[in-house]
A and B are shown apart, each in its own frame.
Chain A
């Protein structure tokens, strides 16, 4: 499935590093999402973008900074992360807000 792609697939970073996660959707959708999936916890919505505009920030710490340059691309910029930020970060897209979402394969992030 190549509808939603994410890079890198795995990332190990120190607490003082700065890195970025990238998501690209090839489905012609207008809404994109970032989720965090930690062990034994439900998927948590982080950010929502609709037509490049951020419409939801689910009380995410400022060390996570999203960027949506167009409807097909979504980034998550990371800086001064904590070990508890280690998780699977999933990107998703939908045709419109409220429609079913299609997920990318995720980036497995480990903060050391």
Chain B
């Protein structure tokens, strides 16, 4: 059975801290790993990773994939209260249309 596991499930930090969110997976026919941010309802796309070791960066957010160890991390530096959200990790498959999602990490940034 395909599995995507995120950790921690919940994280509370102070504004300005740096956080690292984890996503590990055990799937067959891996194609890509995606990160989404879900604030109220609609998850918004952050990154899609397909190659190991290549960091993707957008402002204070960055992510990297390790296909040998089967995990990805999402880093957020200098966190702001607006970063408070649920961060979702999902895996896409070769030859299939589905995404399998992890449970999400609920991140709370306190001022």
Closest to A56 in B: B97
A74 neighbours in B (Cβ, 8 Å):
none
A33 CA to B98 CA in the complex, in Å? 9
How many of B's residues come within 8 Å of A, CB to CB?
A: 25
* Chain B 88-107 near chain A by CB (<8 Å), digits 1 or 0: 10101100111111111000
Contact of A42 among B4, B41, B48 (CB under 8 A): B4
Is A1 on the interface with B (CB-CB < 8 A)? yes
Q: Is the interface of B mostly helix, strand, loop or mixed?
A: strand
* Interface-located stretch among A12-20, A76-84, A103-111: A103-111
A43 in contact with B97 (CB, 8 Å): no
B residues neighboring A (CB under 8 Å) = 4, 31-32, 34, 36, 40-45, 48, 88, 90, 92-93, 96-104
A residues neighboring B (CB under 8 Å) = 1, 4, 31, 33, 40-45, 48, 50, 55-56, 58, 88, 90, 97-106, 108
